[in-house]
Amino acid sequence: MFRSNWRNVIKINSLWLLRVSSFTDDFNTKGRYTGPLNYG
């Protein structure tokens, strides 16, 4: 039971990390195009 829960936690964490990394990549590309002044 604990093992299956641990696998679910890892699966959820990996999905969350993928979402966050894709969001930060999008943010970085937008920042590169528009310039840092818009975020400052």
Which DSSP string corresponds to 1-40? -HHHHHHHHHHHHHHHHHHHHHHHHHHHHHHHHH-GGGT-
What predicted TM-score, i.e. pTM, was given to this entire model? 0.41
Question: In terms of Cα–Cα distance, which of 9, 8, 39 is closest to 24?
Answer: 39
pLDDT score for 26: 74
Report in angstroms the alpha-carbon separations of 34 from 1, 8, 10, 25, 31. 49, 39, 36, 14, 5
Q: Which of 8-12, 17-21, 25-29, 35-39 has the lowest mean pLDDT?
A: 35-39
Residue 32's pLDDT is 63
